[in-house]
Amino acid sequence: MKSAYWNTVQFTMKASANLSSNRRAVTGKTARTLICVVCLAGTPYVVPGLARFRSAARSSLSGLLEIRGHAEPSVTAGIADAGMIALAPSSGNSATLQGQSGNIQVTPGEIEDPSGHALDHFFSALLKSETKGGAARVCHYGDSPITNDGITSTIRQLAQLRFGDAGHGFILTAKPWGWYSHEGVTQNAGRGWESDPMFISRGDHLYGLGGVSFTTGLRGATATFGTADEGEVGRSVSSFDIYFLTQPGGGDLEIEVDGTPRETLATAGDATRSGFRRVNVEKGAHTLTLRAVGNGAVRVFGVALESDGRGIEYDSLGVNGAFIGLLAHYMDEQHWAEQLQHRAPDLVIVNYGTNENQFEKLPMDRYEADTREVIRRIRSALPDASIMFLAPMDRGERGEGGGTITRPMIPKLVGYQRRIASEEGCAFFDTFTAMGGEGTVARWSEARPRLMGGDFTHPTAKGAEIVGTLIYNAMMRSYEKHKAP
HEC sequence for the chain: CHHHHHHHHHHHHHHHHHHHHCCCCCCHHHHHHHHHHHHHHCHHHHCHHHHHHHHHHHHHHHHHHCCCCCCCCCCCCCCHHHCCCCCEECCCCCEEEEECCEEEEECCCCEECCCCCCCHHHHHHHHHHHHCCCEEEEEEEECHHHCCCHHHHHHHHHHHHHHCECCCEEEECCCCCCCCCCCCEEEEECCCCEEEECCCCCCCCCCCCCCEEEEECCCCCEEEEEECCCCCCCCCEEEEEEEEEEECCCCEEEEEECCEEEEEEECECCCCEEEEEEEEEEEECCEEEEEECCCCCEEEEEEEEECCCCEEEEEEEECCCCCHHHHHHHCCHHHHHHHHHHHCCCEEEEECCCCHHHCCCCCHHHHHHHHHHHHHHHHHHCCCCEEEEECCCCCEEECHHHCEEECCHHHHHHHHHHHHHHHHCCEEECHHHHCCCCCHHHHHHHCCCCCECCCCCCECHHHHHHHHHHHHHHHHHHHHHHHCC
Cα–Cα distance, 61 to 39 (Å, whole number): 10
Q: For 199, what's the count of Cα atoms within 13 Å in the CB-facing half-sphere?
A: 9
What is residue 464's predicted lDDT score, i.e. its pLDDT?
96
The pLDDT of residue 96 is: 55
Q: For the chain, what percent of residues have pLDDT higher than 90? A: 71
- Mean per-residue pLDDT for 276-302? 97
pLDDT tens digit string along 24-39?
Answer: 333 343 344 444 434 4
Closest Cα partner for 467 from 408, 356, 390? 390
Please state, in angstroms and rounded to a whole number, the distance separating the CA atoms of residues 40 and 33. Answer: 10
Using CA atoms, how far residue 436 sits from 77, 360, 395, in Å, is 13, 22, 12
Query: Nearest to residue 84, comparing CAs of 92, 94, 75?
Result: 75
If 0-12 CB within 10 Å is exposed, 13-18 middle and 19+ buried, where does residue 265 land? buried
Answer yes or no: are the C-beta atoms of 405 and 442 closer than 8 Å. Answer: yes
Q: 287-298, pLDDT tens digit by residue?
A: 999 999 999 999
Residues 6+ apart with CB under 8 A from 252: 264, 265, 266, 267, 268, 292, 293, 295, 296, 298
CA distances from 147 to 153, 181, 345 (A): 11, 7, 19
Mean of pLDDT values over 304-326:
96
- Closest C-alpha to 431, from 182, 215, 136, 108: 108
The most confident of 21-30, 53-62, 296-305, 449-458, by mean pLDDT? 296-305
Instruction: Name beta bridge partners: 279.
Output: 240
What is the average per-residue pLDDT within 166-188? 95
Give CA–CA dist 47/56, Å, rounded: 15
pLDDT band at 258 (very low <50, low <70, confident <90, very high): very high
Residue pair 197/176 in contact (Cβ under 8 Å)? The answer is yes
The Cα–Cα gap between 221 and 192 comes to 6
Mean pLDDT of 240-251: 98
At 402 the pLDDT is 81
The single-letter code of the amino acid at 323 is: F
pTM: 0.82
Task: Tell me how far apart the alpha carbons of residues 15 and 303 are, in angstroms, rounded to a whole number.
Answer: 28
> Mean pLDDT across the chain, nearest whole number?
83
pLDDT, one tens digit per residue, over 392-435 is 999 988 888 788 889 999 999 999 999 999 999 999 999 999 99
User: If you average pLDDT over residues 377-388, what whole number do you get?
Assistant: 98
Residue 138 CB contacts under 8 Å (≥ 6 apart), including other chains: 122, 169, 312, 313, 314, 315, 345, 346, 347, 348, 349
The least confident of 68-77, 194-203, 223-232 is 68-77
CA angle centred on 223, ends 139 and 232, rounded to 5°: 55
